[in-house]
Chains A and B, each alone.
Chain A
Amino acid sequence: MNLSQAILEALESLSSNKMRSGLTVLGIVIGVAAVIAMLAVGTGAQDSITGSISGIGTNLLFVFRGGGRMGGGTEVRNPKPLTLQDAAAIADPFAAPSVELVAPVLQDSLIVSAAGQTTTTNVSGVTPDYFPLRNYTLTEGDVITEEHLLGRASVAVIGPETADTLFGRRDGLIGEQITIEGQPFRIIGVLTAKGGGMFGSEDNQVLIPYSTAQTRLIQRRTRDQVDMLLVQVVDSESVPSAVEEVSAILRTRHRTEIGADDFTVFSQQDFLSTAATITSVLTIFLGGIAAISLLVGGIGIMNIMLVSVTERTKEIGLRKALGARKRDILTQFLTESSLLSLFGGIIGIAFGWLIAFIVEKVAIASGTPFYPRIGLDAILLATIFSAAVGLFFGIYPANRAANLEPVEALRYE
């Protein structure tokens, strides 16, 4: 018998017990839909995390005090703090040609109040370069300038969420007064909302001139100490050389031993690849759990096929009496089980797509834009996997059928 005949016969046989076939297919549908939806959600999560890391800025380096903080190196005793002089050295275009901008940051969690409202939020002392470096734009007002730095001005740029908390609105705030740790500041700008970032609330912060923070709000042990240096690299190809240049400068300035850096340079790519690792583990984990339900569906197929073989023992005996060879019977039952799982696979892909679609709508409705992505690879994987499940779990029952003794089978009632 050829394949198209086998498929036709299998279809007839499956449709003669629609309820049973339907329920068996359902098991595969659930499995495949789960796999598709989970992979889609996982990939979507990956996209959105990658997106938000890129949103921090482009081609950034983060320089922290202390060795081995994220890179896995050894912890160094008595690390020297990063200073403004370090920042100036890195900004030198001759020593570090790959560096475009350097921004020192002082950061602390402080009490901010206005109009009777009080909140605790992140306050950062920054320089004018900080804004282009972080891709910050304003909905109204102006950024912090060199004049503000020189004058240690009591001015602040606030995030939209902070504005909501303190004033209940996001506009018309220029010139309004806020107090930080009891000291009065005048609002000169409001940041554009960035949305749900992965690194705390970028929308909930207050930016003030670096010099103001240094002298009046965020005192460190030495005057020139900074918490973090943000470095922008000229282009993405230069990131590795920029890391080297920055490290070389800091090693010389801090006189550290070789292999015992008392600082950490972390690039955005490092963040990205760390995040990618985490999210792909997440995706595999989700997909794996979903795959278990596909496995359960496969066992369902095996179960039904075994029942079907037993029920049709006499039919198998008859077919053998009429000249069916082992492989004819094998083909017959494998075709049935593969068709069951293939149908399940196709319907499951549609269902998985629907689930991903619903997740997207719910995510958008709840204000965190998130786009589950169904790749061709996921569809291919699900189709192949479900057909393989049908074949694999069909082999045992089909073999059992093919190896029945014709006489015994014919006698079966």
Chain B
Amino acid sequence: MNQDWVVVADDLVKTYKMGEVEVNALQGASVKIARGEVVSIMGPSGSGKSTMMNILGCLDRPTSGEYMLDGEVVANMTDDQLASVRNRKVGFVFQSFNLLSRQTALFNVELPLRYAGQVENRRQRAADALKAVGLEDRMTHRPTELSGGQQQRVAIARAIVNEPAIIMADEPTGNLDSKVGKEIMQLLLNLNKERGATLIIVTHDPVIAAQTQRIIKLRDGMVEDENMQNGGVQ
């Protein structure tokens, strides 16, 4: 079967040196994720989920191992090239929203377009993204004037505005109550359905993981188990 892989990571190792002590956050993890797939990453605290997410999102470099994101080998890229890859191919959704608190929702969503050097239609595209997450009437609000769920929607709009190959969410519902969390999860799944966005979600919540096509289980920096469900590939 000839698959269209967005993420191909092989034997990822990440070692943190803390003085004399070495911490092996990842020790030989391999993952492949197909275009359009919805994957969750689970595992106990400290098992290396965030570390893996940061490497897959090109925020960090592995100590060793191969990684190809959407056809680009990122191993030897400079910091600025990595920045460009993040800008074009990855949309991040964080647990703590990470919005610029002094700026409007619209400005926050525009930010990736600014760094992409996009001048034309910037406002329009940001407005469209906000509409896609159901916030067309909150465009000029600042984060302090929005609820937690609304803030996370702004963050999701920001993640999709550049039409990236992949959306990475590290515990996106961790700071929200279960009802709002469910809505956010639904929104992400809808974006996957409507736009075909690839989705990787780190979560502790089995209910959320159950909504994804595949669960990657990490333990001590290694992939312990890949659990197919809901018609996943492979």
**Residue A315, interface by CB 8 Å:** yes
A308-337 Cβ-contact flags toward B at 8 Å (1 or 0)? 000000110011111111111000000000
**Residue A410, interface by CB 8 Å:** yes
B45-84 Cβ-contact flags toward A at 8 Å (1 or 0)? 0000000001001011000000000000000000110011
Supposing A319-B111, A410-B59 touch, asked if A325 and B98 sit within 8 A by C-beta, the answer is no
**Residue B87, interface by CB 8 Å:** yes
- Residues on B with C-beta less than 8 A from A318 are 98, 100
Which residues A152-179 have CB closer than 8 A to chain B? Answer: none
Which residues A371-412 have CB closer than 8 A to chain B? Answer: 405-407, 410
Supposing A12-B102, A410-B98 touch, asked if A322 and B158 sit within 8 A by C-beta, the answer is yes
Which residues B144-193 have CB closer than 8 A to chain A? Answer: 158, 162
Q: How far is the CA of A389 from the CA of B10 in the complex (A)?
A: 50
Among listed B35-43, B112-120, B213-221, interface-contacting one: B112-120
Q: How far is the CA of A1 from the CA of B119 in the complex (A)?
A: 9
Q: How far is the CA of A319 from the CA of B86 in the complex (A)?
A: 11
B79 touches A322 (CB 8 A): no
**Residue A236, interface by CB 8 Å:** no
**Residue A273, interface by CB 8 Å:** no
Q: How far is the CA of A323 from the CA of B112 in the complex (A)?
A: 6
Question: What's the minimum C-beta distance from B87 to chain A, rounded to whole angstroms?
Answer: 2
Question: What's the minimum C-beta distance from A404 to chain B, rounded to whole angstroms?
Answer: 10
Q: How far is the CA of A316 from the CA of B119 in the complex (A)?
A: 22
Supposing A325-B80, A326-B79, A407-B54 touch, asked if A319 and B115 sit within 8 A by C-beta, the answer is yes
Supposing A322-B87, A323-B86, A323-B88 touch, asked if A407 and B102 sit within 8 A by C-beta, the answer is no
Supposing A12-B102, A16-B102, A407-B54 touch, asked if A322 and B111 sit within 8 A by C-beta, the answer is yes
Q: How far is the CA of A87 from the CA of B146 in the complex (A)?
A: 98
- Residues on B with C-beta less than 8 A from A16 are 102
Q: How far is the CA of A16 from the CA of B142 in the complex (A)?
A: 13
**Residue A78, interface by CB 8 Å:** no
Count residues of A near B (Cβ-Cβ below 8 Å): 23
B114-140 Cβ-contact flags toward A at 8 Å (1 or 0)? 111101000000000000000000000
- Residues on B with C-beta less than 8 A from A327 are 80
A1 touches B115 (CB 8 A): yes
Of all chain B residues, the one with the shortest Cβ separation from A402 is B79
- Residues on B with C-beta less than 8 A from A328 are 115
Of all chain A residues, the one with the shortest Cβ separation from B80 is A325
- Residues on A with C-beta less than 8 A from B162 are 323
**Residue A13, interface by CB 8 Å:** yes
B115 touches A321 (CB 8 A): no
- Residues on A with C-beta less than 8 A from B83 are 320, 323-326
- Residues on A with C-beta less than 8 A from B102 are 12-13, 16
Supposing A13-B102, A322-B112 touch, asked if A407 and B59 sit within 8 A by C-beta, the answer is yes
A407 touches B60 (CB 8 A): yes
A406 touches B59 (CB 8 A): yes
A325 touches B84 (CB 8 A): yes
3 interchain residue pairs of minimum CB distance: A323-B87, A323-B115, A325-B80
Which residues does A use to contact B, with CB under 8 Å? 1-2, 5, 12-13, 16, 314-315, 318-328, 405-407, 410
- Starting from the known contacts A323-B86, A328-B115, 11 additional A-B residue pairs (CB-CB under 8 Å) come to A2-B119, A16-B102, A318-B98, A320-B59, A323-B88, A323-B115, A324-B83, A324-B115, A325-B83, A410-B59, A410-B98
Which residues does B use to contact A, with CB under 8 Å? 54, 57, 59-60, 79-80, 83-84, 86-88, 92, 94, 98, 100, 102-103, 111-112, 114-117, 119, 158, 162
User: What are 18 pairs between A and B in contact, CB < 8 Å?
Assistant: A1-B115, A1-B117, A5-B114, A13-B102, A315-B100, A319-B115, A321-B57, A321-B59, A321-B92, A321-B98, A322-B111, A323-B87, A323-B88, A323-B116, A324-B83, A325-B83, A325-B84, A407-B59
